[in-house]
Homo-oligomer: A and B are copies of this chain.
Amino acid sequence: MPKKARSSRRREESLSRESIVEASIDLLDRSGEDGLTFRALSERLTTGPGAIYWHIANKSELLTAACDAIVARTIEATPSGVETKANIRDLALGLFDAIDEHPWVGSALAQAPGAMPMVRILERLGQQVSALGVKEQARWEAVGTLLSYILGVGGRNAANGQLARERNLDRSDFLEAVAAAWSQLDPNIYPFTRSIAGHVRDHDDRVDFLAGIDLILRGVGSSRKR
């Protein structure tokens, strides 16, 4: 036996951008946005914090890369069929579910405008809206609105998840607390907010989200007829 076993030479597997991103995702899923730390990460990878900087420029690039990995998988797992509106709905729902499962993705997405993860979403959305027969001029309007809406919902879901975690509640307990606070607002000043407090308590986020997508798609449709 001329050499020692190859695998134990340095580390189980040597550091790579990919393994760093994978460990980051795990850390983020397990302990939320501020669970991602160069120290925690390097401990998990049995290195020093400096080693990570050989593969990744800085923390924001790391967060965006982790976000991009999730978004890429999500889009890949959402095939496009023949019915265009259904494709848009499926894409939107896929993203919604991904953010629900990884709340940090929602805020990472918002922090990296123009970067890869957003481009993937933009492209898919754009192709489908084009297939809808929307003309050049109105296309960006439709795609931009859908994108902003999806990011807006995603951002709020991310914040809900983060706040719930900070207060050691689950999501529904947190929404319950919001509803309770809203029902105690002055009815003369905040009649509407009070009136929907009940809805907040027992609504299905996912259903509401899809209703918004459909509402926007209706608007796109009615613009074509003008």
Binding site for B on A (CB under 8 A): 107, 110-114, 119, 122-123, 126-127, 130, 139-145, 147-153, 155-156, 158-160, 162-163, 178, 181-182, 185, 189-193, 195-196, 199, 203, 208, 211-212, 214-223
Which single member of B151, B160, B222 contacts A155 (CB below 8 Å)?
B151
> Roughly how many angstroms separate A222 CA and B145 CA in the complex, as a whole number?
17
A17 to chain B, nearest CB (A): 20
| Interface contact A123-B192, CB-CB below 8 Å | yes
Please name all residues of chain B whose beta carbon is closer than 8 Å to the beta carbon of A163 when the two chains form the complex: 113
Q: Are B219 and A160 in contact (CB under 8 A)?
A: no
A193 near B119 (CB under 8 angstroms)? yes
Say how many copies of this protein the assembly contains.
2
- Min distance, Cβ A166 to any Cβ of chain B, angstroms: 9
Q: A145-B212, A152-B150, A192-B122 are in contact. Are A140 and B221 (CB under 8 A)?
A: no
- Inter-chain CA distance A98–B130, complex, in Å, is 33
State A139–B147 Cα separation when bound (angstroms). Answer: 22
Which of A130, A147, A199, A218 has the most B CB atoms < 10 Å from its CB? A218
How many angstroms between the C-alpha atoms of A143 and B220 in the bound complex?
18
Chain B residues with Cβ below 8 Å from A122 are: 192-193
